Each structure stands twice: as structure tokens, then as C-alpha cells.
Amino acid sequence: MDTHVLSAPAPQRARDLFGLLDSDGPEIDRRRELTPRVVDALVDRDMMRLLLPRSLGGQEIHLVEFCKTTETLALADASTAWFVNQSNVSLATSAAAMAPEAAAAICAGPRTGLAWGAKHANSQAIRVDGGYRLTGTWGFASGSRHTAWIGAHSHVRNQDGTPHIRYGRPDDRSFLFPKEKADIVDDWQVLGLRGTGSDTYSVTDLFVPDDYAPAREAPEERREPGPLYAIMSNLLYATGFCGVALGVGRRMLETYTQLARGKQNRAAVSPMAGNQAVHRQIGSLEAKLSAARAFVHEAADLVYEAAANGTLDVDRRMRLRLATTHAMNEAAEVAVACYRGAGTTAIANAAPFERRFRDAMSISQHMQGMSEHIEMAGRHILGCDNTVQWV
């Protein structure tokens, strides 16, 4: 690895990948996974250890810097940015709650990574001597085709079927194991983010040792003191995925602006560049996207600073939750407006709109962008009865 390259800030290293990601984007979409040379380039620029603790060879970069990095990657290819966010947050939050020896086993060297599927209530983890017996099926394992380790989430039960209680509450853990121990189904046939290869996988009665079953969200098991690990996974995921949404929205707007400089709409009396409605639209879209981005960076900076000095509270957490959800939705609206404004130019597979529009629409469907989060933030602001979650 080039130490001079690695001395550059993470967003700059991401920017250096633009040409490669942009050219390989269609092939990534077709393959439904990253190309080998893209994976190699991510490793060469140490993009898989952005959030990993320094004690394990990671970079522990600032949360705002991480958001800018996923945004920069998504300017070229959303699937690559999605994978980088998913793997970095999963790996870092797991490692921060694991014994050093176990964490080192899955984090050794720059060619690292961790994938897993969405949490649900239909899995089974039975507490046994020295570990757990895990059974279940999970979907949406983004990037699992490029990682050696995979994981799964489950509540823990005792052998008699009763909930296992730890720290005075039901025990909820993530279970990490080599990918070859899982049965993987190639079922990722979707609208957008195709290159994430987010397959479904299952295990049956798999023994997972204690050291490989971290309670990532339990403060009692957190071993790393850095602010990232006090922020915890929900808001780390939200910030990184928000960066992906902003990057795709920005690329759509840049592409639409370039088109408007030279296109004559056959149904209009003047070129797009001479149309006041187009002027107003592009100005409004620029303001919408830039304002959403600024809100996210402000909220992320406040959360990171509070986590660093031990004052992180639900108010700051809720503000970042609101900012990230709002920005994901604003970016989706920008993408739709640009796609529609481009007319028939946008529908061709060879054009720069079609794939990114599909990616934008798939990003907008993710749990992190759901309007229920905004409703929760509104209740918090009003002081209403509220169930605080995903913060």
C-alpha cells in the first residue's frame, strides 16, 4: 500500500477512485457485485477500515469525514459506497465490543470486511456452554460476496426456551462466523443497488463461541473509548447511508445541469438553458440538496463532539436522526426531478441517468429513510409520549 496515498484524507482517497468506479459502474450493476479491481482499489486505499478502532489498525475517522467519504464514492457508484458504509459500520461496532484477540482475527490487514442481513424476530440463538447455537435465515447481506466473515443478529434464549437475560434486559447479540459456514442463496434480483449483491443466507444449529458474539449496543461490553462507538450503529449507518443518498442526488443534479446547457426540448419554444422554469428548478434543487447536506454535517458534528466529551444525549441523537432521514428523502426528490426533467434522454440504459435513478429509488426505500423517523422526531420536539428508537 502506498503510504503517501494513505496519508490523504478519506474523502480525497475516495475521490481518487472516481474514474475507476465511474467506468466500472455498468459492469458492477450487471454482475450484481463489485468488480475485482474495484475491491482491490478499495483495499489499496484502506477504505475498509475507516471506522475501525486504531488499536486494531483502523483509522477511526470523524463521523462527518465518513459521511463525505460515502458521498464521494456514491458520486461514481452507489453500490460501492453502500458496501463501504455497511461493512465499515458493521465491522467497527462489532470489534469495539469484542475481546481483542477475537477482533484481531476478523480485522487482520486491510483486506477485511463484515456483512450481515437485517435483524428480525424469527431466528434462534440458544445459550450453551462456551457460546451459542444459532439457527435462522437472513436477507439483505450487502457486500457479502466480498467479505470473508458474515454475521447475524438474534435475541438469545435459554435451553428451556425462556429469554436469556443479561444486564437486566433480554440479551440481544450479533454472531460472527466465516462465510463458508453459511448457506448462501443468490437471490439479489432488484431495482437498484444491484452491485451490493445483498444475498440471503442461513445457518442451522451453528456453534458460535462467546468471543464472536458481541452485544454491540450494550455499553457494558464496549471496550473502545472513541466517540464513534458511543454513537453506536444506528446513527453510524444512518449517516453513511445518507452520504450515499446525497452522492447519488448530487450526480443526478450535475448530469441534469449539464444536459440543460445544451438540450432543446421538442415540446418547448426555447432551449432548456433559456427556459426560466428550468432556471428556477435547478436553483431550487441546488438549494434543497445543499441545505440537506449542511444539516446532516452540522448534526453529525454535534453528535461526534458530544460523544467525545461524554455529553451525548437523546436531543442530539434525535437531531441527527431527523437530519439523516430528511436528507435521504430530499436527495430522492432531487433524483426524481432530474430524471423527469431530462425527458426521454433519461430512459436509455447507455445514458447516465437510468442506473442512478434506480439506485436513488432503492436507497429511498431503506429503513433509514422512513418517514416514521421524522414523526418520532416531531413527537420529541413537541414533548409528546414517544417511543425512542433507531437513535
The reported pLDDT for the residue numbered 351 is 82
Q: What are phi and psi of 205, to 5 degrees?
A: 50, 45
The CATH code of the domain at 3-107 is 1.10.540.10
133, 157 Cβ separation under 8 angstroms: no
Residue with cell 440471503: 200
Q: For residue 100, what are the CA distances in angstroms to 97, 131, 218, 222?
A: 9, 17, 17, 12
Q: For residue 266, what are the CA distances in angstroms to 271, 272, 295?
A: 9, 10, 39
Q: How far apart are CA 202 and CA 175, in angstroms?
A: 12
Residues in the chain: 391
The reported pLDDT for the residue numbered 270 is 77
Which CATH superfamily is 232-382 part of?
Answer: Butyryl-CoA Dehydrogenase, subunit A, domain 3 (1.20.140.10)
297, 246 Cβ separation under 8 angstroms: no
Write out the chain's pLDDT in tens, 391 residues.
565 567 899 999 999 999 999 999 999 999 999 999 999 999 999 999 999 999 999 999 999 999 999 999 999 999 999 999 999 999 999 999 999 999 999 998 889 999 999 889 899 999 999 999 999 999 999 999 999 999 999 999 999 999 999 999 999 999 999 999 999 999 999 999 999 999 999 999 999 999 999 999 999 999 999 999 999 999 999 999 999 999 999 999 999 999 999 876 766 667 888 899 999 999 999 999 999 999 999 999 999 999 999 999 999 999 999 999 999 999 999 999 999 999 999 999 988 999 999 999 999 999 999 999 999 999 999 999 999 999 9
Q: How far apart are CA 206 and CA 127, in angstroms?
A: 12
Tell me the three cell numbers of residue 80.
460501492
Give which of 18, 10, 9 is closest to 250, Cα–Cα. Answer: 18
Strands 199-209 and 124-128: unpaired
The CATH code of the domain at 114-218 is 2.40.110.10
Quote the Cα angle for 373-254-326, to 5°.
10
Q: Which residues in the chain belong to E strands, given as ranges?
A: 114-116, 124-128, 131-141, 149-157, 165-166, 169-170, 172-178, 183-185, 199-209
The reported pLDDT for the residue numbered 60 is 98
Strands 149-157 and 114-116: parallel
Q: How far apart are CA 118 and CA 141, in angstroms?
A: 7
Location of each CATH 2.40.110.10 domain in the chain: 114-218
One-letter identity of residue 43: V
The reported pLDDT for the residue numbered 109 is 84
The reported pLDDT for the residue numbered 1 is 58
Q: How far apart are CA 45 and CA 186, in angstroms?
A: 29
Q: How far apart are CA 39 and CA 32, in angstroms?
A: 13
Give which of 303, 279, 166 is closest to 227, Cα–Cα. Answer: 303
Residue with cell 448457506: 183
Q: How far apart are CA 194 and CA 77, in angstroms?
A: 11
The reported pLDDT for the residue numbered 288 is 98
Q: DSSP H helical segments within 1-108, as ranges?
A: 3-6, 10-15, 18-31, 36-44, 63-76, 78-95, 100-107
Location of each CATH 1.10.540.10 domain in the chain: 3-107
